[in-house]
Amino acid sequence: MPTEAPVRTSLVLVPFAVGAAVAVGVGVYGGLHTPQGYSINISGFSSTQAVKSWLTTGAFVFALVQLLSALMVYGKIKGPRWSGTLHRWSGRLAVLLTVPVVVHCLYALGFDPSSPRVLAHSLLGCFFFGAFTAKMLVLTRKGVPGWALPLIGGLVFTGLVALWLTSALWFFTTTGVTF
């Protein structure tokens, strides 16, 4: 029985270490890469910032669905039998919406310490993708302690909400709600 604890701990520590490496790697890449100034353009939007803000807002809404459906899956609130399916698909859609945003941020802008808000946003972006990587790795492991997945899911949720606050909400409050 004493050998069980280190094995279970490693099931969490390895994904956390890989997630930390991803976070650092994204930050290093963003810092070393010469920003190109552009990378995405979706027709119908007034600016790249508007595109990113709306995609991030969509991901934020799906993150709220993730929180609600996770509470259903864990039996904290009553929900339909398909709560698990809702949770998985809302997560997939949230990540899908963030992909063009992160590609633009890394390729076009890089890691930017030019102001406290932008620095916080850059750090949060690194944190979010590191936490997301760790969550995906924890999901694939059997025997993970019961607290691990809700903790890492909460970190991913918190990271995405903080990213939305430092980007889309900031954009909408400074320029108005535009498309």
pLDDT tens by residue, 123-161: 999 999 999 999 999 988 888 888 898 999 999 999 999
Task: Compute the average pLDDT of residues 45-74.
Answer: 91
* pLDDT number for residue 96: 93
144, 138 in Cβ contact below 8 A?
A: yes
Closest residue by Cα to residue 106 from 26, 171, 19:
26
DSSP for residue 106: I
Diameter over CA atoms, the chain:
61
Return the minimum-mean-pLDDT range out of 32-36, 53-57, 59-63.
32-36
CA 54 to CA 97: how far, in whole Å?
9
What's the pLDDT score for residue 2?
A: 52
